[in-house]
Structure 1
Amino acid sequence: MSAVIKPTLPSLDSDYSLTQEQIQQYQRDGHILLRGVLSPEEVAAYRAVINEGVARLNWETRALDKRDTYGKAFLQIGNLSERAGEDAARFTLARRFAKIAADLMDAGGVRLYHDQALYKEVGGGHTPWHQDHHYWPLDTDQTITMWMPLVDASTAMGTMRFASGSHREGYLGDLPISDQSEETFRKFVVERGYPVVESGEMAAGDATFHSGWTLHGAPGNLTGPTREVMTVIYFADGASVSAPVNDAQENDRHTALGGLAPGELAASASNPLLYTRGE
């Protein structure tokens, strides 16, 4: 029997050029949509790898109507770079993504926090308004999430919406993704007059980047296909672990930060330095 030859995955080390206007836009609004971060060929190659990992690691078997609001929002599979093999890790650890994150935050270097596949099933519910940084015990405001669809995605499939400028508010309370966060933050956005900006239709390989404090959410998936999205979270090199203020942060202290104690440098084996300016 002849050996199966595995195709070589494309390298993701080359630069994606940002303009100064794009960097200023991100720092002003707390989010930005970037087109063509991956080419069609690149995203197709890594989609196959990520889908295999998601299928193998997904534990959710309940029907949608048996889940709570969080469970209806998406299938969530974390740490694919550690759990799904070397090929998935090449996506998460890509220099191209890390450099974008560093440039947008004007950081000297960035480390990996963790990755997550967020697959919104057919009929999947809305993702309530929330702040990502609510879940992260990191003593820095320089955190950023890359959100990339692996398939062409319309607004009706559940692409992102942001409250522009809301990142300047910082921490807005212990509100995990829930019906309560949706109602509280929806009213907050209206009362403060923050414009709601939708990413709209996105091609596979486009990506949004948003600050950990930026209020955001997504509508439900009203279309036929699953909304396949991969996210990678980064933080500025030099950040420390903060004392967890909720159970989610205590869990992340172990699963994303290697069990480091509060006050220690956030640089566990799970948080490699992915890009340093001037390297």
Structure 2
Amino acid sequence: MTDMPQAPSNELDLPYEGLPPTATADFNRDGFVHLSGVLSPETIARYEPTITAEVIRLNTQHLPLSERDTYGKAFLQIENLWQESAPAKELVFSRRLAGIAARLLGVHAVRLYHDQALYKEPGGGITPWHADQYYWPLSSDRTVTLWLPLQETGLDMGPLAFAPGSHNFSHGRDLPISDESEARLERLLAEQDFGDVVEPFALGDASFHRGWTFHHAGPNRGTAPRRVMTVIYMDADIRITEPTNEYQAIERFFPGVEAGQVADSPINPVLFDGRVA
């Protein structure tokens, strides 16, 4: 039997000491931050095999890449792995990761919206320009997505790229991920000179972006899958709103909660509260 890599004791629950003094201000200005050494390579190595095994087990996309639409070519997408696997739950429920989200948002506490594994296969296509919050029936923009690659991610693998400051740009917020969002947002963002920040990710790096920050990713030109775990956090006091599109399914993501109520369901627990020791 191969010994598991030894991660620092309780790293997932230890505070992250690498947040720069300007990180919150940078996050508010740009709508995203790219942080180094959020988790150790040993911790990534401990959880990646479980996440990958669950993606393989739960995947229902079996069409060849050539027969899929743009969304289908972008990635394999599996939600709420924390409900399928105890190790996945340990990673998703990490106080370290949730604590970073709370500090960046400037809130006392954050709760889980859901997690997602996003695996871009070798030869997988672009992820079109979009903003995540289009899909969420939430009362405020106090939301943030963690993007955690599970391998070193060079530019050839299609790392996430951001339009800095675009969380303050209201045009294009009515677009789901699609060929239309790619074409329209590429044009709109270029007209406003927002820029397009794309960087490689070292193993253990992670990014955090706001719900309305426009972002995209290039194709995976590498020979291995681009394996990524994401977690969506929201202000613990955020409320549910009436859906504005077909994707904002309240009962699916907030079972037992109605529009106007705090997003406090059995599958949306508080993951970090700075007021609790």
Which TM bucket (shorter chain)? over 0.9
Shift of 1:203: 1.8
Q: How far off is 1:278 after superposition?
A: 3.3
Kept in 2, the 8 Å contact 1:148–1:204? The answer is no
Match of 1:211 in 2: 210
Looking at structure 2, the residues matched to 173 and 100 of structure 1 have their Cα atoms a distance apart, in angstroms, of 26
Cα offset, 1:160, TM superposition? 1.1
Query: Is the contact between residue 33 and residue 207 of structure 2 (CA under 8 Å) also seen in structure 1?
Result: yes
Matched, 1:74 2:75: yes
Q: Is the 8 A contact 2:77 2:118 kept in 1?
A: yes
Asked if the contact 2:146/2:232 (under 8 Å) is kept, the reply is yes
Ranges of 4+ aligned residues in structure 1 off by more than 3 Å: 5-10, 170-173
Contact 2:172 2:181 (C-alpha < 8 Å) held by counterparts: no
For the pair 1:130 / 2:127, whether they are aligned, the reply is no
Alpha-carbon separation, structure 1, partners of 2:253 and 2:130 = 20
Letter in 2 for 1:61: H
Q: Which residue of 2 aligns with 1:104?
A: 104
Give me the TM-score of the superposition, normalised by structure 2. Answer: 0.94
CA distance in 2, matches of 1:112, 1:47: 20
Contact (CA 8 Å) 2:162, 2:213: kept in 1 or not? Answer: yes
CA deviation after TM superposition for structure 1 residue 171, in Å: 6.9
Q: Which amino acid aligns with 2:187?
A: K
Indicate the percent of aligned positions where both proteins have the same amino acid: 44
**Counterpart residue number, 2:121:** 121
**Pairwise CA distance, 1:7:** 9.3
Partner of residue 223, structure 2:
224
1 CA distance for matches of 2:6 and 2:96?
A: 18
For residue 267 of structure 1, give the secondary structure of its aligned residue in structure 2. Answer: coil
* Cα root mean square deviation, aligned: 1.7
In the alignment, the residues of structure 2 paired with residue 170 and residue 230 of structure 1 have an alpha-carbon distance, to the nearest angstrom, of 28
Q: Give the Cα separation in 1 of the matches to 2:241 and 2:35.
A: 31
Residues 112 and 8 of structure 1, relative CA distance in 2, 3 Å threshold: farther
Query: Which shows bigger deviation, 258-267 or 219-228?
Result: 258-267
Q: Give 1:247's aligned residue.
A: 246
Give ranges in structure 1 of 5+ residues lacking alignment: none
In 1, Cα distance between equivalents of 2:37 and 2:65 = 33
Once residues 128 and 140 of structure 2 are traced to their aligned partners in structure 1, the CA distance between those partners, rounded to angstroms, is: 24
Shift in alpha-carbon separation, 1:8–1:244, aligned structure 2, 3 A: farther
Alignment of 1:62 onto 2:63? yes
Work out the CA distance in 2 between the residues paired with 1:277 and 1:73: 36
- Asked if residue 270 in structure 1 is aligned to residue 271 in structure 2, the reply is no
| Aligned-pair CA distance for 1:51 | 1.1
Tell me which residue corresponds to 1:166: 166
Q: Give yes or no for contact 1:81–1:115 (8 Å, CA) kept in 2.
A: yes
Summarize the Cα distance change of 1:55–1:167 in structure 2 as closer, same or farther, 3 Å threshold.
same
Q: What aligned pairs does 1:5-16 form with structure 2 within 5 A after superposition? A: 11=10, 12-16=12-16
Deviations 1:59-101 (A, max 9, x none): 111100111100000000011011x221111110100000000
- Take 1:192 and 1:234, find their aligned partners in 2: how far apart are those partners? 29
Please give the alpha-carbon distance, in whole angstroms, between the structure 2 residues aligned to 1:150 and 1:7: 15
Per-residue displacement from partner, 1:117-149 (whole Å, max 9, x unpaired)?
000000000000000001111111100000011
Cα offset for 1:157? Answer: 0.2
* 3-state SS of 1:249 partner: coil
Partners of 1:29 and 1:164 within 8 A in 2: yes
Q: CA deviation at 1:204?
A: 2.2
CA deviation after TM superposition for structure 1 residue 156, in Å: 1.1
